[in-house]
Amino acid sequence: MKKMYALCFTLLLSSQLYASYEQYCNARFGFCVEVDNQWGKEAAPANNDGRSFFDGEGLKVSVWGSYNALNETPREAMSNAQNGLDRVTYETMRDNWFVVSGYKGSDIVYTRVFLHNDTYYTLLITYPKTLQKEYNAIVTRLSKTFRVLP
């Protein structure tokens, strides 16, 4: 049984190491993020504010833009992100962005949000707690490649 788990873990790591990434860019809100081109894509919403992707193993990535119609401060937006979690495990805030991560049920939830020109840009990643080690590198890559276009 241990050999089977080791083989599955090795295959999962191998597929992540050799994944082929492509940029998803949203023309309406002007942001980009690199996603694995093997991931499935949900249909784009009618308002074209973003997109959601999934890998079939439990990872779901959603990225979108939204106008700050309620004049919410980044601190208020961060508080709302925290309130959606059962337990916050990480948080950081700078002038115009924040990151909140934690647990919701059996999932890890990672949220990175930018405020630029009165528009919020959000990257939301969820995946099973049991696959945390396997997904750490992917979450890091997504977070680093998520950017607002000049």
The whole domain housing 140 covers 20-148
Residue 104 included in any domain: yes
Q: Is 12 part of any domain?
A: no
| Residue 5 belongs to some domain of the structure | no
In whole angstroms, give the CA distance from residue 28 to residue 61: 19
Q: Is residue 142 part of a domain?
A: yes
What element of type H or E holds 75?
helix 74-83
pTM beyond cutoff 0.85:
yes
As for how many domains the chain has, the answer is: 1
Q: Whole-angstrom Cα distance, residue 93 to residue 104?
A: 21
- 65-119 residue pLDDT tens: 999 999 999 999 999 999 999 999 999 999 999 999 999 999 999 999 999 999 9
- Whether 136 is covered by a domain: the verdict is yes
Task: Compute the Cα dihedral for 78, 101, 60, 141 and give only its sign.
Answer: positive
Q: What is the pLDDT of residues 24-53, one digit of tens each?
A: 999 999 999 999 999 999 999 999 999 999
CATH number of 36's domain: 3.40.1000.10
